């Protein structure tokens, strides 16, 4: 794209004399420091507004935050030196602001608990721990997956593992897989609860991408024509459809509306990217409409969600949404200021409704800025997909970027009443270990693809010269029987 592809080697901006370095690792570090400053400033605001005291400790928090992402930065420098320099700082900033908002909601909940004499445990220390684990995992993924194309070799393994992971909470007894808030999507491992679905998301995307690339030609050409659409042969389509249907079936059974929506949308978009045919999107959306029409009268919880969406202020089941809307409206354009609102009134203010908490205290201006950060992150991901040279990378990169976009749309749309509320978490922001871990893995893969896209092409061994077609040997082709 716009940056010229230049020689490899130089990692810090400006030092190399001749062609300007394009790895831009220095830019990344600079932006990470900026993110740390913003996050520390946000924390200072919360402390001033809430506790009215400031200690030097805040600076240590800021430094620790910078150190943590410095680790990620070093890993990127080491294993993906040409990766896009904006992606990691954006993730760091969104994650850091998320930590501040979770801390702020903790303060609100602590106050509430003090009033009613209930016991209270803060979520933020756990989330900080999860961030640390996530960054370690991020580094591991970058270090272990040296080339994203190797993933394609494990496509079926990935697909199968993904499906099993997805199905585990549904089949395991509730001692190991407890039902929490009406959904059976958690695995309990000792003191930890993880959502395997978050990881299945990435594994299945790898499978879809590899499969679609392998069978790409068949999807676009072979098959029979029906109603003006070329359909691939059923046996080519089957593994894809089976995996897709299974994954959606499982999450629907687990009552995880958001994840089923996510899987559906991701596959549809990957199918579209692979085949370049909008008709798949059309067919998919039609099927989706039919599915909704069938599911609506069958599932009470679907009806509740739709009712709450249509009448958030009247519906009894829409208490959360109602409180979130009140909060965001109270914030208005400029917000109440960090620490100055009352986001803790909204249930799940630090997880599913973290966006509402953010929008209450930072206002429409803050929310718009946050959405812009996400948009930039997604666009940077897509840009890598556009620039990478292999089809698998393009497809996976497109899928991963779209996964962030769709999660964001479903969450923010749900919280602000644009679409019915479903249980997804805002990527990098919401409280929740599994989501954070999985999204860091996702970003590691994106950076890996980005690195491949921006890596200066090593002068490849010259291709064996092909003989002009006129001089080519004739080949004996067996007569079709």
Partner 1 sequence: MNKPLRRVAIAMMAMVVLLMANATYVQVIKADELRNDQRNSRTLYDEYSRPRGQIIAGGESLANSTETNDNLRFLRNYPGGPAFAPVTGYHSFVYGSNGIERAQNDILNGTDDSLAFTRLSDLVTGREPAGADVELTVNPAMQRTAYEQLTSKGFEGSVVALDPKTGGILAMANAPSYDPNRLAGHSAEQLEQEWNALNSQEGDPMTNRAVSEIYPPGSSFKMITAAAALESGYTPNSPVQAASSITLPNTNTRLPNYNGNNCGSGSTAPLTEALARSCNTAFAEIAGDVGAEKMRETAASFGFGQDLNIPMRVAKSDMGPMEDAAALYQSGIGQRDVRVTPMQNAMMVSAIANGGSLMKPELVKRTVAPDKETIDEMDPQKLEQAVSPEVAGQLRDMMVQSEERTKGSGKIANVEIASKTGTAQHGDAADQPHGWYVAFAPASDPQIALAVIVENGGDEGAEATGGSIAAPIGREVIRAGLQGGR
Q: For residues 52-71, which are near partner 1 according to CB under 8 A?
A: none
Nearer to partner 1 among residue 36 and residue 359 (C-beta): 359
Task: Report the candidate in 46, 56, 35, 193 with the shortest Cα–Cα distance to residue 126.
Answer: 193
> What is the smallest separation between the CB atom of 193 and partner 1, expressed in angstroms?
28
Cα 5 to Cα 1: distance, rounded to the nearest angstrom: 9
Nearer to partner 1 among residue 254 and residue 361 (C-beta): 361
> What is the smallest separation between the CB atom of 477 and partner 1, expressed in angstroms?
31
Cα 461 to Cα 467: distance, rounded to the nearest angstrom: 18
Nearer to partner 1 among residue 327 and residue 432 (C-beta): 327
70-103 in b/e burial notation, b at 16+ Cβ within 10 A? bebbebbbebbbbbbbbbbbbbbbbbbbbbbbbb
Based on the shown chain and the rule CB under 8 A, indicate whether residue 94 belongs to the binding site for partner 1: no
**Binder to partner 1 among 408, 441, 445, 447 (CB under 8 A)?**
408
**Binder to partner 1 among 39, 367, 426, 444 (CB under 8 A)?**
367
Cα 46 to Cα 339: distance, rounded to the nearest angstrom: 4
> Between vectors from CA 310 to CA 304 and to CA 315, what angle results, nearest 5°?
55
Nearer to partner 1 among residue 197 and residue 341 (C-beta): 341
**Binder to partner 1 among 61, 65, 272, 348 (CB under 8 A)?**
272
- Per CB under 8 A, the segment of 72-80, 87-95, 244-252, 329-337 that binds partner 1 is 329-337
> What is the smallest separation between the CB atom of 397 and partner 1, expressed in angstroms?
8
**Binder to partner 1 among 69, 374, 431, 440 (CB under 8 A)?**
374
Q: Quote the tokens at residue 399.
A: 């899928």
Based on the shown chain and the rule CB under 8 A, indicate whether residue 214 belongs to the binding site for partner 1: no
Confirm if 129 and 69 have CB atoms less than 8 A apart. Answer: no
Based on the shown chain and the rule CB under 8 A, indicate whether residue 159 belongs to the binding site for partner 1: no
Based on the shown chain and the rule CB under 8 A, indicate whether residue 341 belongs to the binding site for partner 1: yes
Based on the shown chain and the rule CB under 8 A, indicate whether residue 333 belongs to the binding site for partner 1: yes
Confirm if 402 and 265 have CB atoms less than 8 A apart. Answer: yes
**Binder to partner 1 among 114, 242, 287, 294 (CB under 8 A)?**
114
**Binder to partner 1 among 159, 196, 232, 398 (CB under 8 A)?**
398
Nearer to partner 1 among residue 42 and residue 382 (C-beta): 382
Nearer to partner 1 among residue 79 and residue 309 (C-beta): 309
Residues in the chain: 481
Based on the shown chain and the rule CB under 8 A, indicate whether residue 394 belongs to the binding site for partner 1: yes
Torsion angle of alpha carbons 200, 257, 422, 170, nearest 10°? -60
> What is the smallest separation between the CB atom of 409 and partner 1, expressed in angstroms?
5
> What is the smallest separation between the CB atom of 297 and partner 1, expressed in angstroms?
27
**Binder to partner 1 among 116, 221, 461, 474 (CB under 8 A)?**
116
Torsion angle of alpha carbons 123, 125, 141, 435, nearest 10°? 10
Based on the shown chain and the rule CB under 8 A, indicate whether residue 414 belongs to the binding site for partner 1: no
Instruction: Tell me the per-residue interface mask from 288 to 327 with partner 1, x by CB under 8 A, - otherwise.
Output: -------------------------x--------xx-xxx
Q: Quote the tokens at residue 117.
A: 């004499």
In the complex, the residues that contact partner 1 under the rule CB under 8 A are: 111-112, 114-116, 269, 272-274, 276, 313, 322-323, 325-333, 341-342, 345, 359, 363-364, 367-368, 371-372, 374-375, 378-379, 382, 385-386, 391, 394-395, 398, 401-402, 405, 408-409, 412-413, 416-418
């Amino acid at each position: 794209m716009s940056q010229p592809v230049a020689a490899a080697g130089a990692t810090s901006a400006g030092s190399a004399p001749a062609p300007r370095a394009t790895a831009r690792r220095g830019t990344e570090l600079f932006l990470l420091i900026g993110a740390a400053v913003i996050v520390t400033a946000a924390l200072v605001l919360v402390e001033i507004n809430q506790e009215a005291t400031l200690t030097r400790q805040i600076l240590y928090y800021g430094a620790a935050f910078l150190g943590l992402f410095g680790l990620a930065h070093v890993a990127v420098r080491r294993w993906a030196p040409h990766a896009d320099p904006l992606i990691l700082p954006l993730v760091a900033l969104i994650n850091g602001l998320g930590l501040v908002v979770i801390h702020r909601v903790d303060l609100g909940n602590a106050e509430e608990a003090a009033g009613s004499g209930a016991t209270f445990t803060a979520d933020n220390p756990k989330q900080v721990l999860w961030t640390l684990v996530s960054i370690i995992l991020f580094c591991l993924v970058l270090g272990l997956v040296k080339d994203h194309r190797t993933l394609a070799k494990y496509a079926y393994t990935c697909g199968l593992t993904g499906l099993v992971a997805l199905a585990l909470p549904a089949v395991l007894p509730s001692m190991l897989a407890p039902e929490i808030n009406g959904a059976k999507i958690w695995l309990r491992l000792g003191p930890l609860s993880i959502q395997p679905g978050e990881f299945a998301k990435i594994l299945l995307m790898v499978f879809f991408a590899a499969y679609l690339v392998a069978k790409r030609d068949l999807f676009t050409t072979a098959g029979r024509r029906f109603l003006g659409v070329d359909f691939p042969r059923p046996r080519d389509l089957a593994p894809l459809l089976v995996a897709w249907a299974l994954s959606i079936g499982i999450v629907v059974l687990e009552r995880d509306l958001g994840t089923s929506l996510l899987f559906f949308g991701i596959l549809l978009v990957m199918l579209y990217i692979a085949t370049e045919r909008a008709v798949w999107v059309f067919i998919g959306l039609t099927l989706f409409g039919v599915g909704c029409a069938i599911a609506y009268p069958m599932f009470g919880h679907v009806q509740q969600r739709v009712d709450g969406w249509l009448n958030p202020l009247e519906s009894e089941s829409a208490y959360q949404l109602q409180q979130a809307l009140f909060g965001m409206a109270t914030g208005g354009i400029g917000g109440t200021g960090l620490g100055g609102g009352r986001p803790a009134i909204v249930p799940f203010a630090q997880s599913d409704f973290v966006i509402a908490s953010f929008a209450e205290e930072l206002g429409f201006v803050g929310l718009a800025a946050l959405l812009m950060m996400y948009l930039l992150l997604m666009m940077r991901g897509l840009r890598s997909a556009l620039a990478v040279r292999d089809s698998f990378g393009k497809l996976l990169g497109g899928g991963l970027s779209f996964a962030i976009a769709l999660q964001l749309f479903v969450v923010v749309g749900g919280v602000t009443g644009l679409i019915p509320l479903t249980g997804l978490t805002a990527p990098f922001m919401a409280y929740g270990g599994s989501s954070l871990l999985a999204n860091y893995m996702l970003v590691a893969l994106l950076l890996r693809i980005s690195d491949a896209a921006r890596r200066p092409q090593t002068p490849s061994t010259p291709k064996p010269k092909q003989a002009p077609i006129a001089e080519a040997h004739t080949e004996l082709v067996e007569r079709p029987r």
